[in-house]
Structure 1
Amino acid sequence: MAQQRIPAPAAATLAQAFKALGDPIRLQLMSMIASAPGGEICVCDLTPAFTISGTTISHHLKVLREAGLIDGERRASWVYYRPRPGLMRQLSTLLAVEESVTV
């Protein structure tokens, strides 16, 4: 962002991801998923960390999935979530601004 203009298609994708992360619950969920040992976490381990309903957790996970931040895989009666590192790297790179040296 500090080096060159973001093309419109990329801006649309990145804005959707930032918007998804703009909610405190989704930001916490993303943090739990991204930091999970083994690279993935069961929804059964996410839900107890919050005082909101399972339905609301599912909605927030759907928003993160639709934004391209996570993938989910159903195994028996549970869904396991893992981060999509490519988009996370793009977000990180976009926000990285090198400090300028002032003399």
Structure 2
Amino acid sequence: MMQLSPLQFYKSLADEIRLKTLAMLMLEGELCVCELMVALEQDSQPKVSRHLAQLKKAEIVCDRKQKQWVFYSINPRLQPWMKAVIEATVVNQPEYIEVELGRLNMMGERPTRMVACCN
């Protein structure tokens, strides 16, 4: 098991971009930076990537590379109680990411939306 402390975990959640990213990853399984930029309505790829790097450094998310693209997902080794906190947020507060999921869905379904933004 990872050694992320409760304080480090909650500090990682204490930003809207990071929390919404984790909620969407919980539902979607995996997203790339360009999908997150559209969903979060962010023009700055470095800003989104910086938040993802913080989550990766805390080992809350992991990534996989495919050509020049990087796809992020919830770390499968994340402590169960931490996953449960993220999942409880999604289940009990679905309206928190409703707009963002709408933007993501407007991109189409995978793999179609991946072709549109990840090639």
- TM-score in same-fold range (> 0.5): yes
CA contact (8 A) 1:40 1:81 kept: yes
Q: Which runs of 5+ in 1 are unaligned?
A: 1-9, 94-103
- After superposition, the CA RMSD in angstroms is 2.2
Q: Which runs of 5+ in 2 are unaligned?
A: 86-119
4+ runs of 1 displaced by more than 6 Å? none
Q: 1:27 to 1:75 in 2, by over 3 A?
A: same
CA contact (8 A) 2:33 2:45 kept: no
Q: Per-residue CA shift, 1:13-72, capped at 9, x if unaligned? A: 221111011111110111111111xx2122221111223411000000011111111001
Aligned counterpart for 2:48 among listed residues 57, 82, 85: 57
Q: Which has the higher helix share?
A: 2
For the residue of structure 1 that corresponds to 2:62, the secondary structure is strand
How far is the alpha carbon of 1:85 from its aligned partner?
4.1
| Structure 2 residue 69 is matched with structure 1 residue 40 | no
For the residue of structure 2 that corresponds to 1:90, the secondary structure is helix
Aligned counterpart for 2:13 among listed residues 3, 8, 21: 21
Say how many residue pairs are matched: 82
Calculate percent identity across the aligned residue pairs: 32
Q: Which residue of 2 aligns with 1:75?
A: 66
Q: 1:41 to 1:88 in 2, by over 3 A?
A: farther
Q: 1:85 to 1:14 in 2, by over 3 A?
A: farther
Q: Which has the larger radius of gyration?
A: 1
